[in-house]
Amino acid sequence: MSDLYKLRDANRARQKFWPGHEAASDIEFRSIEFAGEAGEVSDAVKKLLRFDRGIAGNKGQTREELVTAIKEEVGDVLISLDMLADAVGIDMRGAIADKFNKTSHKVGIPVMVNSETLDVIIAP
């Protein structure tokens, strides 16, 4: 079973226990939730760049703490994106493969992914 299917199953199972989940399962809420999480990734990256470039403004976090914050926000983005896709009825694997392959074809790159497994396919 694909990891994306496992994520979808986990999201659906957890949502049944989430307080107020009935009011948060529509496309509008999921879209806003995803946008917020994507913004949090950008903010975490900004803080890492401040650290790396010696720009004032951070609150004494270490580089490791800042990278961990990005890691957590990236996880939130993927989770919220899956819940948005589920609200619309989109299979994440198919969407990823279709777009990846479309872009590879457009640019003339022989690297594709299998729509069922996401395994890499390199054309001869």
Annotated domain spans of the chain:
3-90, 91-124
Give per-residue pLDDT as tens, 73-115: 999 999 999 999 999 999 999 999 999 999 999 999 999 999 8
- End-to-end Cα, the chain, rounded Å: 28
Residue 22 has pLDDT above 90, yes or no: no
| Residue for token pair 């497994």 | 117
Identify any residues that bridge with 122 across adjacent strands, giving them in sequence order: 111
What's the mean pLDDT in 20-38?
A: 93
Phi-psi map region of 114: left, alpha, beta (phi>0 left; psi -120 to 50 alpha):
beta
Q: What is the CATH number of domain 3-90?
A: 1.10.287.1080
Give per-residue pLDDT as tens, 36-77: 999 999 999 999 999 999 999 999 999 999 999 999 999 999
* pLDDT value of position 1: 52
Higher pLDDT, 44 or 124: 44
